[in-house]
DNA sequence: ATTTTACTTAAAGTCAACTTCAAGTCTTGC
DNA sequence: GCAAGACTTGAAGTTGACTTTAAGTAAAAT
């Protein structure tokens, strides 16, 4: 992996295996501007070590529920003049907390309503909060929408 | 809405408006076997009132994170000999609780790990639990995967 | 009776995040 | 120096839950 001039770059296959992503995913991420690759004389991609950290960040962000576009936007916040520090990375993920909090709160409300509904046996179209989600908080416009998807990205 | 023989059936437009779904969604649900419609002499769909309850159930199930195929399977559990009672409906949604519990637990773990990571400033590729989701519980096969998606289905 | 308005169908389009394919090129190991 | 394996590209395919479109029919209102 060490080339003759001492730089330590990876082929796409290596980067894929080390990061746990498919090579096709890395090509896609590059195309989407999430990661960068230089090229060999023959035109093949060469990744630097730091791509692994970016990929780890991308994976974590996806697990939190961000879309790639949002992740790209987040990555653009990183300083390009210097190598990002731990604090730079940590700062980015700070923004995730409110999202997680909100998501947890939403699911908890849903669960509590469900418990009530089962307890009372209602599930009435007119009165049940579970079946009428807009009762409490309608009107918010579209607002930011994000996904919590893809079980395969999750810890368990 | 009351026809001449006393039956109270709705056109697709009425059912759409009353349920809050697009007409195209109702056609899709019918095609997928989630709801049923009889036909007018001219071939147009006529829905009975009870379709509204089914649609409410479908909406709630989606908010919990079920896919349409799973929802169809759930709906097939309903007795077809008699009109479903409240208890029949409640029974179905009982199955949602463990899912919600699991989802909440997952997100809570993720949040706690995130807090730690920010606290220590690590976010290290090798050690950070957030960046290494398989540390704790790998190996579960594929298992059922479900989505929590589409903000528009949510209470807020 | 005629014009709207609402409905019908099948087929194609949408979105995100990839994967797969086909046809060809680069790099490596022997 | 050459076969094998890894890589390249653009384009098309995948999944789920729909929406949109086009061309035509039914029902309602006047």
Q: Decide: CB of A12 under 7 A of nucleic strand D.
A: yes
List the single range of B66-80, B88-102, B125-139 with lowest mean pLDDT: B125-139
Determine the residue of chain A that is closest to B54 in CA distance.
Answer: A125
Q: Is B58 helix (H, G, I), strand (E, B) or coil?
A: helix
Q: Angle A147-B103-B96 (CA atoms, 0-180°, nearest 5)?
A: 105
Protein-contacted bases of chain D (C-beta within 7 A): 6-9, 16-20, 25-27
pLDDT of the residue at B61: 87
Give the model's confidence band at A118: pLDDT under 50 very low, under 70 low, under 90 confident, else very high: low
pLDDT at B130 over 50: yes
Strands, DSSP E only, in B20-86?
Answer: 38-39, 45-48
- Chain B nearest CA to A48, separation (Å): 15
Gap between the Cα atoms of B142 and A101, Å rounded: 27
List the single range of A41-50, B31-40, B90-99, B124-133 with lowest mean pLDDT: B124-133
pLDDT of the residue at A128: 58
Give the model's confidence band at B140: pLDDT under 50 very low, under 70 low, under 90 confident, else very high: very low
- Structure confidence by residue, pLDDT tens digits, B35-56: 999 999 999 999 999 999 899 8
**Are B35 and B54 spatial neighbours (Cβ–Cβ below 8 Å)?**
yes
Higher pLDDT, A27 or A121: A27
- Chain A nearest CA to B99, separation (Å): 10
Q: Which of A49, A55, A8, A7 is nearest to A27 (CA)?
A: A55
Tell me, what DSSP letter sits at residue A84?
A: P
Point out the residue among A121, A143, A152 whose CB comes nearest to the CB of B87: A121
pLDDT at B142 over 50: no
Contact at CB, B56 and A125, closer than 8 angstroms: yes
Gap between the Cα atoms of A61 and A55, Å rounded: 10
For residue A71, how far is the Cα from the chain centroid?
6
Point out the residue among A118, A123, A136 whose CB comes nearest to the CB of B156: A136
Query: How high is the mean pLDDT of chain A?
Result: 76
Question: Mean pLDDT over residues B8-13, rounded?
Answer: 94
Sheet holding B9-10, edge to edge: B9-10, B45-48, B38-39
**Are B55 and B28 spatial neighbours (Cβ–Cβ below 8 Å)?**
no
**Are B12 and B40 spatial neighbours (Cβ–Cβ below 8 Å)?**
no
- Structure confidence by residue, pLDDT tens digits, A144-155: 333 333 444 554
Q: Decide: CB of A13 under 7 A of nucleic strand C.
A: no
Give the model's confidence band at B152: pLDDT under 50 very low, under 70 low, under 90 confident, else very high: very low
CA of B5 to C1' of C9 (A): 29
Q: Decide: CB of A128 under 7 A of nucleic strand C.
A: no
pLDDT of the residue at B30: 98
Residue A120 Ramachandran class (φ > 0 left, ψ -120 to 50 alpha, else beta):
alpha
pLDDT at B134 over 70: no
pLDDT at A75 over 60: yes
C-alpha pair distances (Å), B83 with each of A41, B10, B17, B51, B80: 72, 19, 24, 12, 7
Q: For chain B, list the domains and their CATH numbers.
A: 2-95 (1.10.1660.10), 100-148 (no CATH)
pLDDT of the residue at A127: 53
Q: Token match 């368990």: residue?
A: A156
- Structure confidence by residue, pLDDT tens digits, B78-104: 998 888 877 788 788 888 888 889 888
């Amino acid at each position: 992996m060490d080339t003759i001039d001492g730089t330590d770059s990876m082929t796409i296959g290596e980067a894929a295996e080390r990061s746990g992503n498919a090579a096709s995913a890395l090509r896609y991420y590059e195309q989407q501007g999430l990661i960068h690759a230089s090229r060999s004389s023959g035109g093949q991609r060469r990744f630097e070590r730091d791509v692994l950290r970016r990929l780890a960040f991308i994976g974590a962000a996806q697990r939190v529920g961000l879309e790639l576009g949002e992740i790209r936007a987040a990555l653009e916040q990183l300083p390009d003049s210097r190598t990002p520090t731990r604090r730079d990375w940590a700062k980015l993920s700070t923004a995730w907390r409110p999202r997680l909090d909100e998501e947890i709160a939403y699911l908890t409300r849903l669960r509590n309503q469900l418990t009530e509904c089962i307890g009372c046996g209602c599930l009435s179209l007119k009165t049940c909060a579970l079946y009428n989600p807009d009762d409490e908080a309608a009107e918010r416009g579209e607002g930011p929408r994000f996904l919590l998807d893809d079980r395969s990205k999750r810890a368990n």
